[in-house]
């Protein structure tokens, strides 16, 4: 119990981490603190989620018997709603009563949505009562945020006396990817030192470019300079390890998600010749968030392929508290090994991991499934630790 007190950077309540595995390098490229996609996990590992939720609730609000889940605003994305219902069911199986509240103005009464799985998602309007939010008289001490706040911090959630987790500061209105990857890089260095490897093997180079306006092209010089330098730095690493591939960087919004405002660049000249459509796409993130700061990040090839079609795959790892509860492959049949696979409108197939990420097998080869999944879990936990430090610094 004494030891608990030293946890200055507790794990976020939950997270998902997108990884890229190029064989020579395994690195996180995005850490989501309001994960969706729980419906893509292997149902065989739902007990792991239930157990982890019990531990997580015990840590943040040990007497909680009920939880209010605050949803994302997109009510027509049935995949999202499936995920939401899985989270709600996990809470129920963990012994808590769980309801889903919506911030949307047009959800003014209980709204029941039939889901493809046969389940139903029940969305209810959220109301504010003094320093508490509620669904009617359902106003538990624990409020779980599953909305990444791309549209800003909602007034209704400010200054709650209830335990809001993750905190508002974990949303994209406060959080910056560049902060995350700065913390991640430090974590990766500490880790690499312990096992005596080059930290580059698990950490993507990242640099922030501020004050970019894609529409009027201001700040473009800075961007070109940073992209140029990073491409050269990557080339140097590729030379060091004898990797015969073309370096590339990813340029993305420093805040936000959903694969909007993301660009693959192999040559800085490409930035000078963006057409209007490309610039406009970069200029706005989810829900109209204007891109001002961008993150220039080393592109990591993904050389995992799935099936006869050799579809490009990238692993996504899910964590609840500090436990790795599962993962899946995001499989893309129409994208390249150097492209972002989390793209709206593009077709991707989730392929649930057949095995857990926490049962490595010393009798098997290092890249056998249990061991590869374990390695994913290790890197994802490093990203989780980075997020824990990131949130501690924000609060």
**Residue placing its CB nearer to its own copies in the complex, 62 or 288:** 62
**Residue placing its CB nearer to its own copies in the complex, 65 or 225:** 65
Which residue has tokens 């911030």?
A: 103
| Buried/exposed code over 330-355 (b: 16+ C-beta within 10 A; e: otherwise) | bbbeebebbbbbbbeeeebeebebeb
Q: Name the minimum Å distance from CB 360 to its own copies.
A: 6
Say how far residue 267 (Cα) sits from the centre of its chain.
Answer: 27
* Residues engaged in binding its own copies (CB under 8 A): 1, 3-5, 7, 44-48, 50-52, 54-55, 58-59, 62-63, 92-94, 323, 356, 358-360, 362
**Residue placing its CB nearer to its own copies in the complex, 54 or 340:** 54
Q: Name the minimum Å distance from CB 374 to its own copies.
A: 8
**Residue placing its CB nearer to its own copies in the complex, 58 or 239:** 58
Q: Name the minimum Å distance from CB 313 to its own copies.
A: 22
**Residue placing its CB nearer to its own copies in the complex, 323 or 376:** 323
Q: Name the minimum Å distance from CB 165 to its own copies.
A: 14
**Residue placing its CB nearer to its own copies in the complex, 62 or 242:** 62
**Residue placing its CB nearer to its own copies in the complex, 43 or 197:** 43
Residue 258: which residues within 8 A CB-CB, separation 6 or more? Answer: 285, 286, 342, 344
Q: Name the minimum Å distance from CB 119 to its own copies.
A: 10
Q: Name the minimum Å distance from CB 5 to its own copies.
A: 6
User: What's the distance, Cα to Cα, between the start and end of the chain in Å?
Assistant: 24
Query: Rounded distance, CA 69 to CA 101, Å?
Result: 6
**Residue placing its CB nearer to its own copies in the complex, 48 or 263:** 48
Q: Name the minimum Å distance from CB 235 to its own copies.
A: 36
**Residue placing its CB nearer to its own copies in the complex, 207 or 375:** 375
**Residue placing its CB nearer to its own copies in the complex, 52 or 316:** 52
Q: Name the minimum Å distance from CB 149 to its own copies.
A: 26
Query: Rounded distance, CA 190 to CA 184, Å?
Result: 10
Q: Name the minimum Å distance from CB 169 to its own copies.
A: 19
Query: Rounded distance, CA 65 to CA 81, Å?
Result: 23
Q: Which of 194, 100, 201, 209 is nearest to 146 (CA)?
A: 100
Supply the angle between the helices 78-93 and 46-60 in degrees, to the nearest 10.
70
Q: Name the minimum Å distance from CB 120 to its own copies.
A: 11
């Amino acid at each position: 119990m004494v030891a608990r007190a030293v946890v200055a950077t507790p794990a976020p309540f939950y997270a998902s981490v997108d990884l890229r595995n190029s064989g020579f390098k395994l690195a996180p490229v995005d850490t989501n603190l309001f994960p969706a996609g729980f419906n893509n996990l292997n149902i065989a590992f739902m007990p792991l989620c239930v157990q982890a939720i019990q531990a997580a609730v015990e840590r943040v609000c040990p007497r909680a018997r009920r939880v209010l889940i605050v949803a994302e605003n997109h009510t027509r994305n049935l995949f999202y709603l499936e995920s939401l219902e899985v989270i709600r069911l996990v809470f129920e199986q963990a012994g808590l009563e769980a309801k889903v509240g919506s911030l949307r103005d047009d959800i003014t009464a209980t709204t029941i949505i039939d889901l493809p799985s046969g389940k139903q998602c029940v969305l209810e309007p959220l109301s504010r009562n003094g320093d508490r939010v509620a669904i009617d008289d359902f106003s538990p001490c624990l409020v779980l945020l599953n909305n990444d706040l791309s549209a800003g911090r909602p007034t209704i959630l400010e200054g709650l006396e209830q335990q809001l987790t993750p905190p508002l500061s974990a949303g994209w209105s406060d959080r910056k990817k560049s902060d995350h990857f700065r913390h991640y890089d430090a974590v990766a260095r500490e880790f690499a030192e312990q096992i005596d490897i080059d930290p580059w093997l698990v950490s993507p180079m990242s640099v922030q470019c501020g004050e970019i306006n894609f529409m009027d092209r201001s700040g473009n010089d800075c961007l070109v300079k940073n992209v140029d330098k990073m491409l050269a730095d990557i080339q140097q690493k590729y030379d060091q390890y004898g990797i015969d591939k073309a370096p590339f960087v990813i340029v993305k919004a420093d805040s936000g998600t959903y694969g909007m405002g993301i660009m693959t660049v192999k040559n800085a000249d490409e930035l000078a010749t963006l057409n209007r459509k490309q610039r406009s796409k970069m200029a706005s993130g989810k829900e109209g968030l204007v891109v001002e700061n961008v993150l220039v990040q080393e592109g990591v090839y993904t050389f995992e392929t799935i099936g006869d079609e050799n579809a490009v795959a990238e692993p996504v790892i899910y964590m609840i508290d500090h436990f790795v509860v599962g993962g899946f492959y995001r499989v893309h049949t129409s994208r390249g090994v150097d492209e972002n696979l989390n793209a709206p409108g593009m077709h991707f197939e989730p392929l649930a991991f057949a095995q857990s990420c926490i049962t490595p097998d010393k009798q098997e080869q290092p890249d056998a499934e249990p061991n590869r999944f374990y390695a994913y879990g290790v890197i994802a936990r490093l990203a989780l630790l980075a997020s824990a430090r990131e949130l501690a610094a924000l609060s």
